[in-house]
Amino acid sequence: MNKNLEAKQVAAVEEILSHVPEASTYAPVADALNRATELGEDGIVAVLNGVSSMPQSTTVFANPALHKTAVDCDGTQMTLNIRSFALCGIVTESEIIADQLSPAYVIFVGLFGRRPETDADGVDEEAVLTELINRKFYEVTTARRDSLTGNERLINQVAEFVKAFPEAGPEAVIQHFSTLRKLSDPDQKGISGTRDPGELLVELIETHMENVAVATISTYMRHQLRENNALHPQVLAMRATDLITEHEKDGSTAFQTSYSLLLGRKATPVEANILERMGIIQTHHGSAGSNVVARYLATLHTGMVSDFFVASQMTLDGNRHFGAIHDMTGFINEIEDLDDAALEDAIQQRMLTALPTFGHPEIAAAGRSDEIQQDPRPAIYFNPFLEALDNGDIQLNDQQRKRLRIAQRIYQLAFIKGFIRPGREDQPPLRLTPNTDFGGWCVQEGLDIYETDRTLLTYIFRGFGWMMDAREQLQLKIIRPVIPPHPDVIPKPTDDMTIPDEVVALHKRMADKNAFSG
């Protein structure tokens, strides 16, 4: 390559990474305060002064009820108000699905507030980000780090940890090696608004992709130990290295390699596509608890980048967050051996308290009227899996089919039929719609992903959402992005039926008696 051209490209890459989107100037509280002052409304001024220091908008994420569609629930016509998201007001769920956008494309939009381009010097911005993510992931196979027993390859340390704690989930591995990373480099600069934004972004990506690597590698090693628990740590390290090296030589992205590690074997193209679509839709979900923690830690100028990801990941696994997937697993494990009558009774009893993967604490996903809000993500995740099942690209064993049918029955009782609470027999049934965890649990059950590993895919992609939050938070302290977003990033209603069609298709499938006969 011409040296002048190479230098231009290096400079272009540095410029890309250093760019931070402009902070939002949308401040409806401040505007209302000024107007109330002009009108002499002292009482209103006093109230607004109490919240006047709180910024009012985020330019990253908006999630309104965007579509309406009707479905049949046991003869009752229900109107679904389907929530949908837009990232920076630029990329919507429907575009991600229809155009099969790559993870790097979507991540780029969230980090930089614009679509990736190819400049006059031939620098492809999407490819630049892809290469950076891949490089930071694949470096783990050769990286060395100090441990309790001396300086050795990181992948060998992961093998020793997995051998010592074969039942530990990927979250424990992330936390363990994050601590070792902190100890090995006590001079980390952490997260601060005084840092060069490009340098900080590279460290954020480097730290997250190392966490992703050690977590998925540990998952693969546990697959190996379940087949032969006598395997030596060196053999575990060698097998994981071989699989990763094979993928790297084939030109697989870091994400594609992670899918294989998660499955414990080389993922088929169909499986990889299912997992990628499910993951990419979870890249950012602004009001989620883990995103709030990410923003708070960025505001505190967290001393170690490692702590930023660990704290957010711990929140991600909370029982009222994506830990609901683990709650669903526990519930299915409790009831799967019951006879039909006892199974129905157990589900109905659980609906009276807290039904895993149904309802939502922040949207109207439960109600007795003929209108209810719906999260589209279960359908977005689940439909490609069902299509693959119908095409024979995926086969279910009897155990998987049985457990998925239980999940289907939960859907039918919770939403299609609804339930009557004691003392409210004169009221319409209460119906609950499924949330993102329902789709996440079902797809991973069908792909035979181990129960302890079913929040890992979310972590892989959500980590980039946390980076988006941190970069915005360093400019403007918003903390909880459910505060009204900037009007420019709110998606507008359209006649695009991509998302409603996905939701209706899954509903019809769940209402059918033979949803998993493929």
Residue 433 to residue 170: CA distance in whole angstroms: 29
Confidence of residue 482 (pLDDT cuts 50, 70, 90): low
Residue 86 to residue 63: CA distance in whole angstroms: 7
> For residue 488, what is the DSSP state?
G
Mean per-residue pLDDT of the chain: 91
Does residue 4 surpass a pLDDT of 60?
no
Residue 32 has a pLDDT of: 87
Residue 6 has a pLDDT of: 58
436-481: per-residue pLDDT in tens? 999 999 999 999 999 999 999 999 999 999 999 999 998 888 877 6
Does residue 233 surpass a pLDDT of 60?
yes
Residue 169 to residue 199: CA distance in whole angstroms: 31
- CA 339, 345, 347: angle at the middle one, nearest 5? 100
Do 455 and 322 contact (CB within 8 A), yes or no? yes
Confidence of residue 385 (pLDDT cuts 50, 70, 90): very high
- Phi/psi class of residue 418: alpha, beta or left (left: φ > 0; alpha: ψ in -120 to 50)? left
Beta bridge partners of 150: 147
Does residue 186 surpass a pLDDT of 80?
no
Confidence of residue 517 (pLDDT cuts 50, 70, 90): confident
31-87: per-residue pLDDT in tens? 888 999 999 999 988 988 877 766 667 888 888 899 999 999 989 999 999 999 999
Do 175 and 165 contact (CB within 8 A), yes or no? no
Least confident of 238-252, 406-420, 444-458, 472-486: 472-486
Count of CB atoms situated within 10 Å of the CB of 192? 13
User: What b/e string do you get for 331-355 counting C-beta neighbours within 10 Å, with b at 16 or more?
Assistant: bbeebeeeeeeebeeebeebbeeeb
Confidence of residue 174 (pLDDT cuts 50, 70, 90): very high
Q: What is the mean pLDDT of residues 228-247?
A: 97
485 or 169, which is more confident: 169
Q: What is the distance of C-alpha 135 from the center of its chain?
A: 22
Those residues with Cβ within 8 angstroms of residue 81's Cβ, 6 or more apart along the chain or in another chain: 65, 67, 68, 364, 371, 372, 373, 374
Residue 286 to residue 238: CA distance in whole angstroms: 39
Confidence of residue 189 (pLDDT cuts 50, 70, 90): confident
Beta bridge partners of 70: 79
Do 204 and 470 contact (CB within 8 A), yes or no? yes
Does residue 229 surpass a pLDDT of 50?
yes
Does residue 210 surpass a pLDDT of 50?
yes
Does residue 319 surpass a pLDDT of 90?
no
Does residue 321 surpass a pLDDT of 80?
no
Residue 324 has a pLDDT of: 85
Structure tokens at 211: 């966490």
Does residue 1 surpass a pLDDT of 50?
no
Here the contacts of 491-496 (C-beta below 8 Å, separation 24 or greater) are: 491/62, 491/64, 491/66, 491/84, 491/85, 491/86, 491/89, 491/92, 493/66, 493/67, 496/94
CA Rg, the chain, in Å? 24
Confidence of residue 425 (pLDDT cuts 50, 70, 90): confident
Count of CB atoms situated within 10 Å of the CB of 502? 23
Least confident of 47-56, 119-128, 177-186, 221-230: 47-56
Do 82 and 371 contact (CB within 8 A), yes or no? no
Beta strands in 362-459, from DSSP E residues, in sequence order: 366-367, 371-374, 431-432
Do 212 and 244 contact (CB within 8 A), yes or no? no
In the block, which residue shows the tokens 């998302």?
A: 499
Residue 315 has a pLDDT of: 87
Do 282 and 321 contact (CB within 8 A), yes or no? no
Do 491 and 66 contact (CB within 8 A), yes or no? yes
Beta bridge partners of 65: 83
Beta strands in 359-484, from DSSP E residues, in sequence order: 366-367, 371-374, 431-432
Q: How many residues does the chain have?
A: 518
Does residue 360 surpass a pLDDT of 90?
no
Residue type, 164: A
283-308: per-residue pLDDT in tens? 998 778 889 899 999 999 999 999 99
Question: What number of CA atoms fall less than 13 Å from residue 246's CA on the CB side?
Answer: 12
Q: Hey, CA dihedral for 335, 336, 340, 344, is it positive or negative?
A: positive
Residue 375 has a pLDDT of: 94
The dihedral over CA atoms of 107, 111, 116, 120, expressed in degrees to the nearest 10, equals -140
95-122: per-residue pLDDT in tens? 999 989 999 999 999 999 999 999 877 8
Q: What is the mean pLDDT of residues 10-17?
A: 79
Question: What number of CA atoms fall less than 13 Å from residue 1's CA on the CB side?
Answer: 10
Count Cβ atoms within 10 A of the Cβ of residue 47 and give its class: 0-12 exposed, 13-18 middle, 19 or more buried: middle
Phi/psi at 118 (5° precision):
-115, 120
How do strand 91-92 and strand 65-73 relate by DSSP bridges?
unpaired
